[in-house]
Structure 1
Amino acid sequence: MSFDDTEESEELFEHHRLVASPNQELVRIDKYLITFLPNVTRSKVQAAIREGYVLVNEQSVKPNYKVRPDDEIVVSLPTPPRDTEVLPENIPLNIVFEDDYLLVVNKPAGMVVHPAYQNWSGTLVNALVYHFQQLPHMQGNEGRPGLIHRIDKDTSGLLVIAKTEPAMSGLAKQFFHHTIERTYLALVWGEPEEPQGTIDVHLGRSPKDRRVTVAFPKGDVGRNAITHYKVLQSLRYVSLLQCQLETGRTHQIRAHMKYLGHPLFNDALYGGSEIRKGTKFTKYKQFVENCFKLLPRQALHAKSLGFEHPVTKEQLFFDSELPEDFQAVLAKWEHYVQYN
């Protein structure tokens, strides 16, 4: 959904209709709406309210209006809403494993997992719908057939996809109980003080920028998030880490590593696209910028995936090679450290 469409129009199309609960606490309507509507910012919500696109009990309101119990809120926009139908697209898939119940794919960096605002096509789900018929949906997850989990657009690596309802249910339970084994490789700035450890710090959306996940060390805000890490290779300026997820929060590794003071290499959203270790002299700066060009994304790869087959109960484990861009940058750092 987007509030960007502000052209004059004789007709408005209803996008969302929400009814506040009978025991709803008083809360500003702009804050209330960003809690329930996907992929919108508070500023866009406020703009939509000022344009008259948001009605409460059939009346226009101001952004500071306090939502009350049983309020009916309707959001209408000049453009018709998109439905949840996913259009099939003939996009090649790198299938690592497949049987009658599930498949494991190796997603390339740059591919969005499912359609969403600004990415309605070219996604992994568009490809899945083309190659497979009647993929199941999780409840409340319409428009994302077969998906039990996801990885970020610019993260490469392994994903498991359900082909049947029993497979989806069985895999979802394993994710819920944290029994899925997920290992990532991450190139981070600097060298962690401890060669291995566990980051057990709550994570939640940043109140300043909802695109970003931030740490809440006191644990009274956000959701619990646990990442186990181990240094595989120290390269003075950067380190190659193995990260194992116990939970699966949005941007978990990226946010935890920033909290640790070692953001992922070239992770623009979390401060890793700046030089965080080493001098800023021209020669070194040019070297780092060349690395950024080789790997124009955060250095994160979902390397392995292990779980119990939801139907046959067989223990399955899948591993993958680092993609070429990641390997190339790692090799450049190894060479740089050896000769400088």
Structure 2
Amino acid sequence: MTGVEQKTVAKSEADWRFDRWCKTHFPDLPFGRMQKLLRTGQFRLDGKRIDASSRLMPGQVVRIPPLPIEPDVPLLQPKPSQMPSERDAAMMRSLVIHEDDALLAIAKPAGLAVQGGSGTTRHVDGLMQLFLDKNGEKPRLVHRLDRDTSGVLVLAKTAAAARSLSFAFQQHKIRKLYWAVVVGRPKRDVGVIDLALEKGGGAGREKMTASESDEARHARTAFRVLEANAKVAAWLGLMPLTGRTHQLRAHCALSGFPILGDGKYGGKDAHPTGAPSELALHARELDLPHPDGGRLRLVAEPDQPIKEALAWMGLNRTLPPYARLDDWPEERR
């Protein structure tokens, strides 16, 4: 950017922190430079100074100063100690389900974190060092999966692709189909869970709960029963129509059929005697607008937790109706 711009906060960006908003719109802007621009009052919200933690509301206008095209400092090659081991390198390359000039998609295994955190040193973001381009840039995350959720994960290989894909996720232009094995069975075989969610609990114990407060976020999940084992368990297809934290896990548990292995939301009910203990949630398919035009369909084969859960139900490998995204009608959000 070479001049001052104005951007209006979208409805889908309600209650976002400014640093998250900035990272989404300007993935190449270093965090330190963003902080400096905030301190000197060059970023403004409705004409007023803000900081990184400021919350945004739809319709507010962000003043964006001229931003650097090139990074402030030269990119450094990672030290040998920072590079993935040969075992991790082989594992990551085996997970690739699609790669082109704009994006990379992997079938993330259950148990592998997407980003680092307290005590987490092995994660997808770090392992992306394997895919550095000629400028030393690694693929960028544009969405997330929980550590224990397996399935399709997409990363952008360029800044332009990151902007395009981030916008598509924000505007719900991406269709996603998840598979889940739940304990119990929905009262109906087809439906939509419409429960607003709000984050509660202290640091390290955050959990989404149903709420009607002003702080709650609208959340909708379409579901279909694919197969059922009486009232003991069911294999569900889940389509998130909104993108809230832990939405599928919270919606299933709050509706009376927690996802198998999800002790956080289902408690003891999510761990029936003799059942597999790992989270049975898998991001099976993702249909997205490709940054270079057209649409791209990505499919991840089941990982061990969902395969063990289906075997526990006594199901064969034949896919029933609505186990594929093509079977699902376009849902109204």
Q: Equivalent residue for 2:302? A: 322
Q: How far has the Cα of 1:245 moved from its partner?
A: 1.3
C-alpha distance in structure 2 between counterparts of 1:123 and 1:275, whole Å: 26
Whichever residue aligns with residue 263 of structure 2, its letter is A
Kindly provide the CA deviation profile for residues 147-169 of structure 1, in whole angstroms up to 9, marking residues without a partner as x.
Answer: 01010001100011000011000
Of residues 288, 307, 312, the one that matches 1:307 is 288
Q: Equivalent residue for 1:333? A: 313
Q: Any unmatched runs of 5+ in structure 2?
A: 1-34, 42-51, 54-77, 316-333
Whichever residue aligns with residue 130 of structure 2, its letter is Y
Q: Equivalent residue for 1:149? A: 143
Q: Equivalent residue for 1:61? A: none
Change (3 A) 1:271 1:212: farther
The 3-state SS of whatever aligns with 1:271 is helix
Whichever residue aligns with residue 264 of structure 1, its letter is I
The 3-state SS of whatever aligns with 2:274 is helix
Q: Any unmatched runs of 5+ in structure 1?
A: 1-15, 22-34, 37-84, 137-144, 277-287, 336-340
Q: TM-score of the superposition, structure 1-length normalised?
A: 0.63
C-alpha distance in structure 2 between counterparts of 1:248 and 1:186, whole Å: 17
Whichever residue aligns with residue 188 of structure 1, its letter is V
Q: Which structure is higher in RCO with an 8 Å CA cutoff and minimum separation 6?
A: 2
Q: Equivalent residue for 2:248? A: 253
Asked whether the 8 Å contact 2:280–2:305 carries over to 1, the reply is: no
Question: Is 1:268–2:252 an aligned residue pair?
Answer: no
Asked whether the 8 Å contact 2:102–2:156 carries over to 1, the reply is: yes
Asked whether the 8 Å contact 2:182–2:259 carries over to 1, the reply is: yes
Q: Equivalent residue for 2:326? A: none
Question: Pairwise mapping of residues 9-88 of structure 1 onto structure 2 (< 5 A)?
Answer: 87-88=82-83
Q: TM-score of the superposition, structure 2-length normalised?
A: 0.64
Asked whether the 8 Å contact 2:258–2:269 carries over to 1, the reply is: no
C-alpha distance in structure 2 between counterparts of 1:194 and 1:304, whole Å: 23
Whichever residue aligns with residue 296 of structure 2, its letter is L
The 3-state SS of whatever aligns with 2:141 is coil
| Seq. identity, % | 31
Q: Equivalent residue for 2:130? A: 130
Q: Equivalent residue for 1:11? A: none
Q: How far has the Cα of 1:230 moved from its partner?
A: 0.8
Question: Is 1:184–2:178 an aligned residue pair?
Answer: yes
Whichever residue aligns with residue 310 of structure 1, its letter is P
Whichever residue aligns with residue 206 of structure 1, its letter is G
C-alpha distance in structure 1 between counterparts of 2:194 and 2:309, whole Å: 29
Q: Equivalent residue for 2:233? A: 238
Rg: which structure is higher? 1
Whichever residue aligns with residue 263 of structure 1, its letter is P
The count of residues paired between Structure 1 and Structure 2 equals 234
Question: Pairwise mapping of residues 96-175 of structure 1 onto structure 2 (< 5 A)?
Answer: 96-119=97-120, 121-133=121-133, 134-135=136-137, 146-175=140-169
